[in-house]
Amino acid sequence: MFINLIKNEFYLESKSSYNLLYISFFAITCLIFLLFSFPLSKINDIVVFTGFFWIIISLSTIKLVENSFAREKDYNVYDLIYSSSVDLSLIFFAKLISLSLILGVVQFIIFLSYILFSDLNLTLFTNFILLNVVSNFGLISFGILIFLLTNTSTSKSFLFPLIFFPLIIPVLTNASNILFGIIIGEKSSLYIESWMILLTFALIGILLGMNLFGRLIRQ
């Protein structure tokens, strides 16, 4: 049942997330402008890119979460959830995994474009995938919770990003540090503190989601 939930969520999210293609296109356009318009050194170029990368990903997270719940509201999916015998924590996990996968596609498109335009030889691609998995779980889980917390407010479109961005600063800063190390080929052991912060953030988000998703979605 859980696998079917993930498949259904991913199918529906991917169909309704075509606007992320526009986000990816916008990001690639800005990336090209960034690489060819400013005479930055290689190190400064990487520093700017890592910050740019995670800002785009955080904006994509907001758009993904908003679209996901807007679609469910339009099709009265909430009513089906209330009457369903399915454990709501499983629905949370299915949504978390499907949205994280879609966000991972955007990350791959942006990063692949950077590698091609900057003539970079990435040797630690496995670490890049692991970084995205851990970071995405943290971003999406807290994104879901904050959206549901602000969903009843008349200013939810304003409150959601207002609360979300300050909360994810630890993710953005530490993920940027790790991504910088991955690009220049440094060992992950040099960024163990940043890895621990990302893992802790993701675990807290998942645990809170498991316990609060059902209550928040019924409010």
- pLDDT tens track of the chain, all 219 residues? 556 666 666 666 666 655 566 667 777 777 777 666 665 566 677 888 888 889 888 988 998 888 888 776 656 665 666 566 667 788 888 889 988 988 898 888 888 888 777 766 666 678 889 999 999 999 999 999 999 888 876 666 788 999 999 999 999 999 999 999 888 878 777 789 999 999 999 999 999 999 998 888 776
Q: In the numeric block, which tokens belong to residue 35?
A: 């690489």
d(C-alpha 39, C-alpha 36), whole Å:
8
Domain count, the chain: 1
Residue 77: per-residue pLDDT: 61
Helix axes 192-217, 169-184, angle to 10 degrees: 140
0.75 exceeded by pTM: yes
d(C-alpha 201, C-alpha 207), whole Å:
10
Residue 123: per-residue pLDDT: 65
Q: What is the domain range of residue 90?
A: 2-217
Q: How many other C-beta atoms can be found within 10 angstroms of the C-beta atom of residue 135? A: 28
d(C-alpha 96, C-alpha 74), whole Å:
20
Residue 10: per-residue pLDDT: 63
